[in-house]
Amino acid sequence: MRRLIIGGARSGKSHFAESLLAAARVDYVATSQRRPDDPEWAERIAAHVARRPAHWATLETADLEGVLAAASDAAVLVDCLTVWLARVLDEEGCWPDAPGEGWVAPPPRRNPGTPPAEALRARVAGLAAAVASTRREVVLVTNEVGQGVVPASAAGRLFRDELGILNIAVAAACDEVWLVTAGIPTKIKGER
């Protein structure tokens, strides 16, 4: 069973995703990176860690394909694809070349011989294929950002567009898709 849980910020999607696997043995994949210089981010991570069952293993990685391909009978909970995409955009050098205040130089490109947009498409396609072919039960959490205002910046529009493309590809690979709004999950794909 492959499930995608989608919703807005603070909609309850992570809580719902966790409830689907509460009694299972789980590899919880945290796609974010720890940021020691950001206390608010550290508090968010700590809150997520504190509510996880003690029997869950936590993997802090962006290598989702590797986790999904692993020979394990543990279920996989990925939280979240939104942060994974931001990391991939960094790794592939996809952000517009107009840095603003607070801009931090991205790390060296992961695939320097491939144009950034092409490398991004390959990474998204690879993840969707890994979701479709995994033998593990998987629950993936992602944000819905396409129902709001049009972002004012080129980087914001790029992120919104690419997250929409990622969500479409992963939703197509999943058996079920759930939309969570105000803490209320609604199944939008799969048997009802």
Which H helix or E strand runs over 14?
helix 13-20
Instruction: Please state the domain extents for the chain.
Output: 2-189
DSSP-derived pairing of the beta strands 57-60 and 2-7: unpaired
Q: How many CA atoms lie within 13 A of 191 on its CB side?
A: 2
pLDDT of residue 95: 83
Cα–Cα–Cα angle for 44, 70, 138, nearest 5°?
Answer: 55
Q: Are 44 and 10 in contact (CB under 8 A)?
A: no
pLDDT of residue 93: 85
Length of the chain: 192
pLDDT of residue 35: 81
Span 2-189 CATH architecture? 3-Layer(aba) Sandwich (3.40)
pLDDT of residue 88: 93
Tokens representing residue 25 in the block: 């043995």
pLDDT of residue 162: 95
Distance CA 102, CA 139 (A): 33
Distance CA 76, CA 5 (A): 13
Q: Are 30 and 58 in contact (CB under 8 A)?
A: yes
Q: For residue 127, how many other CB atoms are within 10 A of its CB? A: 23
Residue 175 pLDDT > 60: yes
pLDDT of residue 18: 95
Q: What is the mean pLDDT of the chain?
A: 90
Q: Where are the alpha helices (DSSP H) in 52-146?
A: 64-69, 81-91, 116-133
Write the pLDDT tens digit of every residue in 123-166. Answer: 999 999 999 999 999 999 999 998 878 888 888 999 999 999 99
Of all residues in the chain, the percent with pLDDT exceeding 90 is: 64
Q: Which amino acid is at 27?
A: D
Write the pLDDT tens digit of every residue in 73-124. Answer: 999 999 999 999 999 998 888 887 655 555 555 666 777 778 888 999 999 9
Residue 181 pLDDT > 70: yes
Q: What is the pTM of this model?
A: 0.89
pLDDT of residue 114: 81
Query: Which residues form the catalytic set?
Result: 48
